[in-house]
């Protein structure tokens, strides 16, 4: 799994002059665009977070790992048909390699965001919480990748639809705004009662909020949030393994 991830990473970055840096440049450019639109043009950035540009950058870095992991896992078996036919490898190795590749790039981008945040407002011992958040993210994304890998291999139409689904999910995710900002906007509306369901089902709501609490606010993540995120990640990973095991026999017959 590790060797596959390393080979894919080398093949992807060796053709580019900036190499791995491109993974960080993309969210940086998007952050500048959205910062200019929301903060400078509409004047709403300050009401979401005092350092809205960093708030955006952190959200986009986390989102990019989620989107790339989902996209990569959804087509990994079709891209690797030759490997599956010629070499006996556990099928979970292939989406696992996608997960490791995207997570490796995410960690490097997160370090850059941490440096920017430290220069801006200083670091704290609370940043050690990042280790726990990354473990939770790894489990959550691994489960989601497994959920999509096997079913998507036999559904090419769904793979074509995935980029549009990701666009919708992006705007439904608290990347450009915070969950608390959303709560204030929905106060007094009939949609407020659905926010708890949204928070429970969406894998990025609490995770993004926790990263921002640690890096931007230099604060501790509440125990209840840790328990919720940890439980969701374990359930997500277990569900991914179960669904993948149910589909892999049919998948092997189709691919071989």
Sign of the CA dihedral with 83 first, then 85, 89, and 93 last: positive
The angle at the Cα of 163, spanning 17 to 203, to the nearest 5 degrees, equals 95
pTM value? 0.84
Tens-place pLDDT, residues 85-109: 666 667 777 888 888 888 988 888 8
d(CA 75, CA 10): 19
Task: State the residue range of the domain holding 199.
Answer: 2-178+187-255
The tally of domains found in the chain comes to 1
226 or 89: which carries more pLDDT confidence? 226
d(CA 122, CA 116): 9
DSSP 8-state assignment for residue 187: T
Least confident window among 66-80, 85-99, 208-222, 231-245: 85-99
> How far apart are the C-alpha atoms of 218 and 213, rounded to whole Å?
6
Mean pLDDT, rounded, of the chain? 80
pLDDT at 87: 62
Average the pLDDT over 137-149 and give the result. Answer: 90
The candidate with the shortest Cα–Cα distance to 74, out of 1, 180, 205, 166, is 166
What is the pLDDT, as a whole number, of residue 225? Answer: 92
pLDDT (average), residues 58-76? 88
Predicted local confidence at residue 38, as pLDDT: 66
Q: What is the dihedral of CA 127, 131, 133, 136, to 10 degrees?
A: -170
Q: Is the pLDDT of residue 138 over 90?
A: yes
Element (H, E) at 147: helix 129-153
């Amino acid at each position: 799994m590790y060797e596959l991830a390393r080979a894919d990473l080398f093949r992807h970055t060796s053709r580019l002059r900036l190499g791995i840096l491109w993974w960080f440049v993309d969210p940086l450019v998007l952050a500048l665009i959205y910062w200019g639109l929301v903060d400078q043009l509409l004047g709403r950035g300050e009401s979401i977070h005092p350092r809205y540009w960093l708030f955006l950058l952190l959200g986009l870095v986390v989102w990019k790992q989620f989107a790339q992991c989902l996209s990569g896992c959804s087509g990994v078996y079709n891209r690797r048909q030759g490997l599956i036919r010629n070499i006996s490898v556990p099928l979970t190795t292939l989406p696992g390699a996608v997960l490791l590749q995207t997570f490796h790039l995410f960690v490097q981008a997160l370090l850059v965001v941490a440096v920017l945040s430290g220069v801006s407002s200083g670091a704290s011992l609370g940043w050690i919480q990042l280790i726990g958040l990354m473990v939770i993210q790894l489990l959550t994304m691994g489960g989601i990748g497994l959920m999509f890998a096997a079913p998507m291999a036999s559904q090419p139409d769904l793979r074509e639809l995935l980029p549009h689904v990701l666009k919708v999910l992006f705007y439904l995710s608290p990347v450009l705004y915070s969950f608390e900002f959303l709560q204030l906007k929905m106060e007094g509306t009939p949609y407020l009662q659905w926010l708890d369901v949204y928070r429970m089902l969406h894998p990025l709501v609490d995770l993004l909020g926790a990263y921002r609490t640690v890096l931007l606010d230099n604060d501790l993540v509440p125990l209840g949030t840790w328990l919720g995120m940890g439980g969701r990640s374990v359930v997500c990973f277990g569900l991914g393994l179960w669904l993948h095991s149910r589909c892999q026999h049919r998948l092997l017959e189709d691919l071989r």
